[in-house]
């Protein structure tokens, strides 16, 4: 199931400019050493209440994507999403066929968020739970959902650290959806 969020900016980029982590963020997340963030880092990244709701959707197999359209009011609020999800579930709406995310596409998206190739490779290996060389949409949703329920693992902290583009140690709903949308948009339909 896929729920789309309509943003208010016609020129909103889901990738945006690459933001290099600050020196303190790089030191606390292991970016300087190329290792993904771990539960031993001095700064744990958490989810805002909005992002927690989106992680819960992911854990239920629901993809939430960000789209933008000129002149449409911003609908970024959890109550609006709850209503959309309830309506989608009631209508029996389903998502398109489960897509696959190649390692090259995954690494490319993560590079846009400041990940080193070593970090991206390690995260890919931990998310590709069936070791088939691709990340399915369900594997991706499972990993993103775990950021809400099991955020102290190295995989969850690695993802949360990359999502936290303003480096305030809290992933906002907007940061979460933008990250998820970047990854889902890179999926290729299964053959």
Spatial separation of the C-alpha atoms in residues 29 and 33, rounded to whole Å: 9
47: which strand partners? 171
pLDDT band per the 50, 70, 90 thresholds, residue 43 = confident
Spatial separation of the C-alpha atoms in residues 138 and 116, rounded to whole Å: 24
101: which strand partners? 135
- What's residue 161's pLDDT? 96
Kindly report the pTM of this predicted structure: 0.67
- What's residue 125's pLDDT? 97
């Amino acid at each position: 199931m896929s729920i789309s969020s309509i943003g208010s900016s016609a020129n909103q980029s889901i990738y945006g400019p690459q933001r290099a982590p600050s020196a303190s963020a790089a030191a606390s997340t292991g970016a300087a050493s190329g290792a993904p963030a771990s539960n031993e880092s001095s700064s744990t990244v958490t989810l805002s209440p909005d992002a927690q709701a989106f992680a819960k959707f992911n854990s239920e197999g629901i993809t939430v994507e960000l789209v933008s359209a000129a002149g449409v009011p911003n609908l970024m609020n959890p109550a609006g999403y709850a209503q959309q999800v309830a309506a989608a579930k009631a209508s029996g709406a389903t998502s398109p066929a489960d897509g696959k995310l190649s390692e090259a596409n995954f690494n490319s998206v993560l590079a846009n968020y400041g990940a080193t190739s070593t970090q991206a490779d390690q995260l890919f290996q931990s998310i590709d739970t069936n070791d088939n060389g691709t990340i399915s949409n369900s594997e991706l949703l499972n990993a993103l959902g775990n950021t809400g329920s099991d955020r102290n693992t190295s995989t969850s902290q690695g993802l949360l650290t990359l999502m936290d583009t303003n480096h305030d140690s809290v992933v906002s709903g907007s940061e979460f959806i933008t990250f998820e949308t970047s990854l889902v948009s890179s999926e290729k339909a299964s053959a």
